[in-house]
A = this chain, B = another copy of it.
Amino acid sequence: MTKTYDVSAIGNAIVDVIAFADEAFVQKNGVQKGTMMLIDEQRAHSLYDAMGAGTEVSGGSAANTLAGMASLGAKTAFIGKVFDDELGRIFRHDMRAVGVDFDTPSATSGRSTARCLILVTPDGQRTMNTFIGACNELYESDIDEALIATSRIVYGEGYMWDMDCTKSALRKAFALAKKHGAKVAFTLSDVFCVARSRDEFLALIASDFDILFCNEGELAALYPDLSWEAQLDAVQKSCPLVAVTRGEKGSIILTPSERVTIAPAAVTKVVDTTGAGDLYAAGFLYGLTHGKSLAECGRLGSACAAQIIQHLGARVQQPLKKLVA
């Protein structure tokens, strides 16, 4: 079948509510810096009441990646669930406005559109508190086989592994990808996600994933008993293509036969690291679907990540296309 889409992705459809906070506030509110924590609606209200004035920007890990890819010029489609409310309309608009196809129907019963309360500390680090809301209403029936069949790569996020129904939806998407000859790509998302689903992730890496994204912390959580070098060996043996991001140390790309070290891109001032990994994946997957070498894929990933961390929010504000040149 003709491959219309470079990447289709299944992800949580979330609007981020971002505020600067000091270290004391983060500590006092019992959140662990640099991680993502799931919170219920009551906690979402009390934390929102306590936090500073916010900036609302559409987010969601895989959604951020697709938005970045679309801005680079790729053809992408998103599968995810918003509620039929104001934040849901904002999320849908922001996907379509940047050129991502997004046709999953909105939920009309159940909980409201997901929001992630993000506290950005003076070091630029983000701490995420997610009320998952309507994201939890994504079912296998929402996975459009025609869309998967016409995609080169099908991409999923580790965050979705926290809920049984979204996990089932993702499994269905991966099975359809195999059926229709699409590559399966996945991000481990967060150290806590890895801790919660370690055995399943190890099995998926060994059997289902063609492309894996993770950062150093997530890789260490995957192989808690191994040294850094042994972690790299282990994942290199398990998965055909792995990109490990290392923050200001750049990234490393692994295939069964090679290791490509990527230097970080220049950054003037880190404002907010939210979305750094998502945008690295955007640049990397754009390169991969546009005939670039692995080194070029990595450099484009770094360049996109560098753009996103210099402003608030994880969505591109200015077109990324100039980075391709």
- With A48-B93, A312-B311 as known contacts, state yes or no: A56 contacts B56, CB within 8 Å: yes
- With A19-B97, A48-B93, A86-B87 as known contacts, state yes or no: A315 contacts B56, CB within 8 Å: no
Copies in the complex: 2
User: Interface digits, A47-89 against B, CB 8 Å rule (1 contact, 0 not)?
Assistant: 0110111111110000000010000000000000000011100
**Does A265 have its Cβ within 8 Å of any Cβ on chain B?**
no
- With A20-B318, A86-B85, A87-B86 as known contacts, state yes or no: A97 contacts B52, CB within 8 Å: yes
Task: Determine how close the nearest CB of chain B comes to the CB of A79; give it in whole angstroms.
Answer: 19
Task: Determine how close the nearest CB of chain B comes to the CB of A114; give it in whole angstroms.
Answer: 13
Task: Determine how close the nearest CB of chain B comes to the CB of A274; give it in whole angstroms.
Answer: 13
**Does A298 have its Cβ within 8 Å of any Cβ on chain B?**
no
Cα A313 to Cα B48 in complex, Å, equals: 20
Residue in B51, B56, B86, B316 whose CB lies within 8 Å of A97:
B51
**Does A165 have its Cβ within 8 Å of any Cβ on chain B?**
no
**Does A94 have its Cβ within 8 Å of any Cβ on chain B?**
yes
Interchain CB contact under 8 A, A56 and B57: yes
Cα A98 to Cα B51 in complex, Å, equals: 9
Q: How large is the interface on A (under 10, 10 to 19, 20 to 34, 35 or more residues)?
A: 20 to 34
Task: Determine how close the nearest CB of chain B comes to the CB of A170; give it in whole angstroms.
Answer: 25
Cα A93 to Cα B57 in complex, Å, equals: 16
Interchain CB contact under 8 A, A98 and B53: yes
Q: Which residues of B contact A55 (CB under 8 A)?
A: 55-57, 312-313, 315, 317
Q: List 8 A-B contacts (CB under 8 A).
A: A20-B317, A48-B93, A53-B94, A53-B95, A54-B94, A55-B312, A311-B311, A312-B312
Interchain CB contact under 8 A, A49 and B317: no
Interface core residue of A48, A53, A57 (most chain B CB under 10 Å): A53
- With A85-B86, A86-B86, A312-B317 as known contacts, state yes or no: A98 contacts B52, CB within 8 Å: yes
Known: A55-B57, A312-B312. 7 other contacts (CB 8 A): A19-B97, A48-B93, A49-B93, A52-B97, A53-B315, A54-B94, A56-B56
